[in-house]
Amino acid sequence: MLVRGARRRRGAAVRPVELRAIRAERDQRLSTGIGELDSVLGGGIVPGSLVLIGGAPGIGKSTLTTMALANLREAGRRTLYISAEESAAQIRLRAERLAQPSALAIPVIAETDLDTVVATLEQERPEVCVVDSVQTLHAGELSSAAGSVSQVREAAVRIMRVAKALRIAVLLVGHVTKDGTLAGPRVLEHLVDCVLQFEGERERTYRTVRAVKNRFGSTSEAGVFEMRDHGLVEVLDASARFVSEATRAPGSVVLCAMEGSRPLLVEVQALVSRSELVPPRRVVTGVDRNRVALVLAVLGRHAGIGLGAADVFVNVVGGVRIEDPGADLAVALAVAGAVKGVPLTAARADRPLACFGELGLTGELRNVAHGERRLAEAEKFGLTPAIDPSSHPTLRAALTAAIGAKRPSAIAA
């Protein structure tokens, strides 16, 4: 409520400008020297942009950002590494493990005070800066502890202001919660220009980088890496790795998936065993648990494969997470093969069976995007003919082709 006699403060009006009269600047992107990372970013880092990189502890976030800064430093770019978690000595030890001499030339400061970080950015004016991590910065004017909602919001806003004003590309490293989502307030994701999710299991060597938000590129791309002693190595032909490791045992099929704009062949495994628990266990890794529940229900209703008294385990080999709806058929065939105890192979017995397709609730197989490219990738590795919705319109037809002439309805768990 306004105090009597007080005048309402009014801002100055701004004259709108037509879009055709606005000059759009085309900034040249900065290449990180890591092809998989540049592809996910949309072609490289945009000057003045904020990129948030999230992932579980020990997944390789600091290794990836250090490698990117080393390549940029070698290309003559001004870089800066701000560590709010590790000491400068710890960062040097990591840089020494990398097979990049330029890694030791990265300027670094170990600081948690937000005022000091902002002052350093204004003084050094790097072209690319890494802040590891934004949850550990602390603003002295706020009484809350580092990592709280107010602290994270204040740190992100102040870093964004200086980055936009001085055209500094900032890579913010963020923590994740137990369920894998980015920790901190949602405003952090809204402030940044790009959000990268670093996925994988610490016990496995493969890592995947996905863009879940990108104002300067597509959000459908994904990069695959392999963690080695000297750092992360790009996996340029991930399909060859996964196909060569396929077991060709009962309960194993090869899924022709799409990761962004490129096809990817991955092995899907299933294990079915009689359960002594009520309800039975459903353990799923690498695919959506709800989609697996849907597949199991359709198998029971339209294929006569009842699994109500069986434990079902489904796993995507290699620690890769697949969000492609075309994985439904691979899960169904893997589970059916595990129940029947029949190896699912292609025309050549020494080759695993490849498949893809979305499963409908009435037992039909639905087409998915880029079917021709999926089939071409399977043919590249001799996994043809593959089972897909165009050649097998129903789940029953796919099961008959994969398991044999015996009617799928006669299969029992």
When pLDDT is averaged across residues 149-167 and rounded to a whole number, the result is: 93
Q: Considering the chain, what percentage of its residues have pLDDT values greater than 70?
A: 91
Q: Is 206 helix (H, G, I), strand (E, B) or coil?
A: strand
Residue 10 lies in a domain: no
Q: Considering the chain, what percentage of its residues have pLDDT values greater than 90?
A: 64
Nearest to 292 by CA among 283, 302, 301: 283
Query: DSSP assignment of 43-65, as one string?
Result: SSBPTT-EEEEEE-TTSSHHHHH
Give me the pLDDT at residue 65, please.
Answer: 96
Same domain, 279 and 232: no
* Cβ neighbours of 1 (radius 10 Å): 3
In sequence order, what are the residues at sequence separation of 6 or more whose Cβ sits closer than 8 angstroms to the Cβ of residue 203? Answer: 319
Give me the pLDDT at residue 56, please.
Answer: 85
Same domain, 292 and 211: no
Same domain, 35 and 103: yes
Same domain, 248 and 232: no
Residue 5 lies in a domain: no
In sequence order, what are the residues at sequence separation of 6 or more whose Cβ sits closer than 8 angstroms to the Cβ of residue 389? Answer: 329, 357, 358, 365, 366, 367, 368, 371
Angle at 50 between CA 197 and CA 319, to 5 degrees: 10
Asked whether the predicted pLDDT for residue 405 surpasses 70, the reply is: no
Q: Which of 209, 236, 263 is where one domain is finished?
A: 236
Confidence of residue 4 (pLDDT cuts 50, 70, 90): low
Give me the pLDDT at residue 90, please.
Answer: 94
Asked whether the predicted pLDDT for residue 2 surpasses 50, the reply is: no
When pLDDT is averaged across residues 166-178 and rounded to a whole number, the result is: 87
Same domain, 216 and 297: no
Distance between CA atoms of residues 191 and 185, nearest Å? 11
pLDDT tens sequence across 50-79: 999 998 888 899 999 999 999 999 999 999
Mean pLDDT of the chain: 89
When pLDDT is averaged across residues 305-318 and rounded to a whole number, the result is: 93
In sequence order, what are the residues at sequence separation of 6 or more whose Cβ sits closer than 8 angstroms to the Cβ of residue 257? Answer: 263, 264, 265, 266, 322, 324, 326, 327, 356, 374
Cβ pair 172, 133 in contact under 8 A: yes
pLDDT tens sequence across 186-242: 668 888 999 999 888 777 788 889 898 999 988 878 898 998 888 899 988 889 988
Give me the pLDDT at residue 320, please.
Answer: 85
Q: Which residue blocks in 137-283 are alpha helix, DSSP H?
A: 149-166, 187-191, 238-244
Residue 21 lies in a domain: no
Place of tokens 């970013």: 41
Q: Which of 198, 220, 236 is where one domain is finished?
A: 236
Distance between CA atoms of residues 252 and 226, nearest Å? 23
Nearest to 334 by CA among 271, 279, 392, 385: 271
Residue 377 lies in a domain: yes
Give me the pLDDT at residue 371, please.
Answer: 94
Residue 298 lies in a domain: yes
Which has more confidence, 38 or 11? Answer: 38
Cβ pair 312, 408 in contact under 8 A: no
Q: Which of 236, 267, 282 is where one domain is finished?
A: 236
The distance in angstroms from the start CA to the end CA of the chain is 71
Which domain covers residue 69, as residue numbers?
27-236
Residue 270 lies in a domain: yes
Same domain, 231 and 245: no
CATH number reported for the structural domain that contains residue 330 in this entry? 3.30.230.10
Q: Is the peptide bond before 47 cis (omega within 30 degrees of 0)?
A: no
Q: How many domains is the chain partitioned into structurally?
A: 2
Confidence of residue 182 (pLDDT cuts 50, 70, 90): low
The predicted model scores a pTM of 0.81
Same domain, 179 and 291: no
Asked whether the predicted pLDDT for residue 300 surpasses 50, the reply is: yes
Same domain, 255 and 212: no
Cβ pair 201, 207 in contact under 8 A: no
Q: What are phi and psi of 271, to 5 degrees?
A: -135, 130
When pLDDT is averaged across residues 354-378 and rounded to a whole number, the result is: 95
Same domain, 328 and 363: yes
Q: Which two structure tokens, joined as six digits, stand for 412?
A: 């029992």
Which has more confidence, 407 or 266? Answer: 266
Same domain, 197 and 317: no
Nearest to 290 by CA among 328, 252, 335: 328
Same domain, 367 and 350: yes
Residue 75 lies in a domain: yes
Q: Which two structure tokens, joined as six digits, stand for 237?
A: 């032909």
CATH number reported for the structural domain that contains residue 82 in this entry? 3.40.50.300
When pLDDT is averaged across residues 268-277 and rounded to a whole number, the result is: 93
Q: Which two structure tokens, joined as six digits, stand for 245?
A: 């490791």
* Cβ neighbours of 59 (radius 10 Å): 21
Give me the pLDDT at residue 178, please.
Answer: 59
Same domain, 289 and 161: no
Give me the pLDDT at residue 248, please.
Answer: 82
Residue 199 lies in a domain: yes
Asked whether the predicted pLDDT for residue 179 surpasses 90, the reply is: no
